[in-house]
């Protein structure tokens, strides 16, 4: 339950800093993992679902964000999102975005 609340909190932060969208995605994937019989498969399936449902404009906006850990300030700095399964999820999303034709 607290992961769903964190996902919602991150999502609400997007209004002032777009990088919170990646935090929301990571917390949602972690919550999905905890609800799945195979946690890693559940997490990966949630990430695939999220990526499949991104619009071209959202992909382009997210692709402009600094890579996790490159910017010391903000949600993509060295805080809660920079380690563990949250970091793994964000890195997977950012890797997919970097391969996307819309991020070129």
Per residue in 75-91, pLDDT tens? 899 888 899 999 999 99
Q: How many CB atoms lie within 10 A of CB 79?
A: 13
DSSP 35: H
Is the pLDDT at 10 greater than 80, yes or no?
Answer: no
> For residue 35, what pLDDT is reported?
93
Q: Report, as an integer, the average pLDDT of 34-62.
A: 96
Is the pLDDT at 28 greater than 50, yes or no?
Answer: yes
Q: How confident is the model at residue 15 (pLDDT cuts 50, 70, 90)?
A: low
Q: Is 15 helix (H, G, I), strand (E, B) or coil?
A: coil
Name the pTM for this structure.
0.85
């Amino acid at each position: 339950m607290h992961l769903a609340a964190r996902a919602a909190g991150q999502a609400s932060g997007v209004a002032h800093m777009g990088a919170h969208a990646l935090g929301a995605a990571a917390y949602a994937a972690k919550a999905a993992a905890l609800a799945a019989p195979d946690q890693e498969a559940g997490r990966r399936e949630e990430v695939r679902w999220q990526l499949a449902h991104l619009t071209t404009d959202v992909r382009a906006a997210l692709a402009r964000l600094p890579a996790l850990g490159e910017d010391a300030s903000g949600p993509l700095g060295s805080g809660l999102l920079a380690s563990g399964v949250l970091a793994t999820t964000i890195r997977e999303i950012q890797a997919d975005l970097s391969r996307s034709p819309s991020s070129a």
